[in-house]
Amino acid sequence: MRYRIAWLTGSVLALSACAAGPNYHAPQSAALGVPAGYSQGSGAALDDATLATWWTRLNDPTLTGLIDQAIAGNLDIVQAQARLRQARESLRQANAAFLPQVNGSASGGKNYRSQAGGTRVDDSGNVISTGASNWSSSYSAGANASWQIDLFGELSRSAEAARADLAASGYDLANVRMTIISELVTNYVQARASQEQLRIARETQKVQQDNYDIARWRLQAGLVSSLDEQQARAQLAQTNATIPQLEASLKGSLNRIAVLTGQAPGDATRALETPAPIPTAATDIATGIPADTLRQRPDVRSAERALAAATARIGVAQAQLYPSLGISGNIGTTSNAFKDLFDLITGGVFANVAQTIFDGGRLASQVRAQKAATDAAFAAYKQSVLGALEDVENGMASLDSARRRKIEFATAYEASNNAAILARSQYQSGLIDFQTLSSSETTLLNARNSLASAQSDEILAIAQLYNALGGGWQNMAPTRISTTFWAPSRKSRIASG
């Protein structure tokens, strides 16, 4: 008997090691169409430490403080953290299926019996019943246990899928954090750019007010016609009209910053209303190679884990085509007196095998449906890979464009400023008409605004590029995206690649 039990146990464990469905292996770069290098960039290796806190390279302590607030209080991050906890509990539930399920019950009570009719006797005069009422007690206790044997890996594949889902949720959290940081930097730079353009508009406003005053004085002196006065007035009004628009843009950026940091708009960003310069950054940015980007991008890694989960669920569906084996048992006792409750105990152990004979093709259809879902997951993974590479290429192109434009606009600003100074002096001396002065002033205003835009575009392109490279989540607590959890045995764990 002992050898039979050992043989049966060994057979069950051997069958448990044969999980249905394909074992997952991560797709190779060739299958994903990943090139060896980028079309631009030096290919210098990525630095994880630099990527983790790339915004500190902008040399702006205020921005760094805002990002710390966003990481701690942003509500999108809070939601992603909750989804991660939910995925962790799903894994625990999947692992719990490996263990026996035990239920216990107990009851006790009093039974009342009343018999009317008085005392009854038999033919010999013996008392049969007194007709009196009486109470009796009854007690019972019992337990039931059931255990599903993982014959064809349905439980193992379910746990494998849950582990992959947990990892994907961790990377989703990292992606949310990375996106929030990039959006915060974008709005902060836009706010500083609006402040710079407001400063330019107000300085231009003062100069154009002086020009208008001069034109009116010269008109009153009979030196010019009213055309100069009206042109100066129109130019001043156009500059005045840009100020409310810039103020609204600034307010919108500040309101968005407040929400990104988990606060209500208004007082939360009051300190940011004090003008400050547009951040600056170092010119060198290592982009690495495409394989580095795929390793750093949490959205790509999340898509890969989603593919692993979908592959594991093929095994879950296939295992349902095969027989299932369960073991159950019960133990119980019943007595009319509590002290005698455990004098007589009964129990039993049972094994049951179940196999679907006919279901109209439902289970086979589920397998095909899950294979189709896996094909879709692979396509989504490949799409995320190609999208990540596209983001990096676009980021490098935007940064190169912004830097070249900034150089040219700096030259244009210097030249137009010199021209405007000369034109203003010559107009005051009556050597040129107001149309010439207005043209030079407009050119200067456009050059100053274009230079400010190019400066902000450079920082925005840097933020775009670092976001494309997957920066901003590397220093997250490892436990948030850990995929190592308890499993009952090595045989019940399937490598997830």
Q: Per-residue pLDDT for the chain (497 aa), expressed as one digit of tens each?
A: 444 444 444 444 444 456 888 999 989 888 888 898 888 866 678 788 888 999 999 999 999 999 999 999 999 999 999 999 999 999 999 998 888 999 988 888 887 776 555 566 666 666 665 555 677 788 888 899 988 888 898 899 999 999 999 999 999 999 999 999 999 999 999 999 999 999 999 998 998 898 888 888 878 888 777 888 888 888 899 989 999 999 999 999 999 999 999 999 988 889 999 999 999 887 778 888 898 888 899 999 999 999 999 999 999 999 999 998 888 888 888 877 777 777 778 888 888 888 889 889 999 999 999 999 999 999 999 999 999 999 999 999 999 999 999 999 999 999 999 998 998 888 878 788 888 888 888 898 899 999 999 999 999 999 999 999 999 998 876 444 544 333 333 333 333 33
Give the tens place of pLDDT for each residue, 129-167: 555 567 778 888 889 998 888 889 889 999 999 999 999
Locus of tokens 């464990």: 13
pLDDT at 486: 30
Cross-strand partners of 332: 142, 346
**Can you tell me whether residue 360 is helix, strand or coil?**
coil
Kindly report the number of other CB atoms within 10 A of residue 415's CB atom: 13
Kindly report the number of other CB atoms within 10 A of residue 155's CB atom: 23
Contacts of 290 (CB under 8 A, 6+ apart): 34, 35, 36, 37, 38, 389, 392
**Can you tell me whether residue 83 is helix, strand or coil?**
helix
Q: How far apart are CA 208 and CA 247, in angstroms?
A: 20
Structure tokens at 223: 């030196």
pLDDT at 227: 85
Phi, psi at residue 347, to the nearest 5°?
A: -170, 175
pLDDT at 484: 36
Confirm if 350 and 329 have CB atoms less than 8 A apart.
yes
Strands (E) across 212-319 are located at: none
Kindly report the number of other CB atoms within 10 A of residue 333's CB atom: 17
pLDDT at 425: 87
DSSP category for residue 325: E
Q: What is the distance between the terminal CA atoms of the chain, rounded to a whole angstrom?
A: 41
**Can you tell me whether residue 146 is helix, strand or coil?**
strand
Confirm if 392 and 469 have CB atoms less than 8 A apart.
yes
The DSSP annotation for 12-25 comes to HHHHHTS-SSPPP-
Confirm if 323 and 355 have CB atoms less than 8 A apart.
yes
Contacts of 187 (CB under 8 A, 6+ apart): 253, 256, 257, 260
Give the tens place of pLDDT for each residue, 15-67: 445 688 899 998 988 888 889 888 886 667 878 888 899 999 999 999 999 99
Confirm if 439 and 432 have CB atoms less than 8 A apart.
no
Locus of tokens 């879709």: 376
Chain length of the chain: 497
pLDDT at 413: 92
